Amino acid sequence: MTPSGAYVHIPFCARKCGYCDFNAYSGYKDGTKAQYVKALCQEIEISSPNFGGGGGLQTVFFGGGTPTQLPAEALTQILALLPLAPGAEVSLEANPADADERYLALLREAGFNRISFGVQTFNDGLLKLIDREHTGDDAKVALTHARAAGFENLSLDLMFGLPRQTVADFERTLATALELDVPHLSIYGLIVEEGTPFFARRERGKLPLPAESAEATMFARALERAQAAGLKRYEISNYAKPGFTCRHNRLYWRNESYHGFGAGATGYLGGERRVNIRRPSAYIEAALGGKPLTCEQEQLTLEETMGETMMLGLRLAEGIDLEAFSRRFGVRAEERWATIIATLTAQGLVESVGDHLRLTEPKGLFLASEAMSAFL
């Protein structure tokens, strides 16, 4: 597949959250950030002959870290190097505290047309507990600024299962988000990853997490309230009004090819997964010195690619398009994994609807990891 999307990684944060295991760093000076932009532009320019297709990229996603730790002019400079197709979706992850109206207006003028604000919760006490530097009011103001700057495609990231979070706390955050009438919500459960400060605190018995039953209730409330408000669930953790699904993330869930630029960025090209050097300083040195940027490289076999396509496709509400899978790989998924599909169906985790295989609701959603991992 010719890649139709590109992911651009900005690894800087004002402060790294205790739960974060992404390739993100705090404490870098403005001079280093400027050098990073120069290195990133160098990588994109060298890669430009491989964009292919001729029609330009359909989606671009700036993630992090916190992309809004860079000046708007720097983000504009990077975006200008990426060939965009007409109507391309250009997304940016943003910290609510960084987003004043002038900054957002510059981004909108440059071609960014979708913003995802990392709100997590509107409870200021919980925000402090998870190391976020904005307040609930900051998030509301940022949304007002984004709309004034001309952004219509807006998303809020919310989290449940946070330390000391109650079901009532989460319901208040959810109600606030729905009152703000954004067309897209991403609602994720906290996962405590090994190597993070939260993991160390949990090991010491110092991380007061909600009970699993409370987490399950929060997930159920999100599913119920978001859909009642007109945001249809289109992926396990994502809800959108008609026409506002995240097109870029669909590339991942359909296991399609995409470019990856920046420190620690992953690209998936021609069945080969490549990961860039992670440390910003090492990435800058390599890029500006004309050295290879790839630190990991893996050519997936057909069997591995098919398994990942099944696993990722089950994340989507419509599930896996079995006819499209057959056209792509020349294999009938329902025959290749007949025993696994029969077992998962008997367990009530998946179901066949027309020419799609999908997770059941709610049981399959609650046990999604178990169902998806069966195909790997």
Residue 158 predicted with pLDDT over 80: yes
What angle separates helix 30-47 from helix 72-79, to the nearest 10 degrees? 10
* Cα-based torsion angle of the residue sequence 180, 186, 190, 191 in order, rounded to the nearest 10 degrees: -170
Q: Give percent of the chain above pLDDT 90.
A: 94
- Exposed e or buried b per residue across 158-181, where buried means at least 16 C-beta atoms within 10 angstroms of its C-beta: bbbbbbebebebbbebbebbbebe
Distances (CA, A) of 78 to 38, 64, 122, 225, 260: 9, 15, 32, 38, 13
* Banded model confidence at residue 3, pLDDT cuts 50, 70, 90: confident
Strands (E), 241-327: 259-261, 266-269, 272-276, 294-299, 320-321
Report whether pLDDT(21) > 70: yes
Q: 63-109: per-residue pLDDT in tens?
A: 999 999 999 999 999 999 999 999 999 999 999 998 899 999 999 99
Q: Judge if pTM exceeds 0.85.
A: yes
Rounded CA-CA distance 59/247 in Å is: 7
Omega prior to 65 cis, within 30 of 0: yes
Average pLDDT over residues 304-332: 97
pLDDT tier at 52, thresholds 50, 70, 90? low
pLDDT of residue 121: 98
Give the Cα separation of 78 and 72 in Å (integer): 10
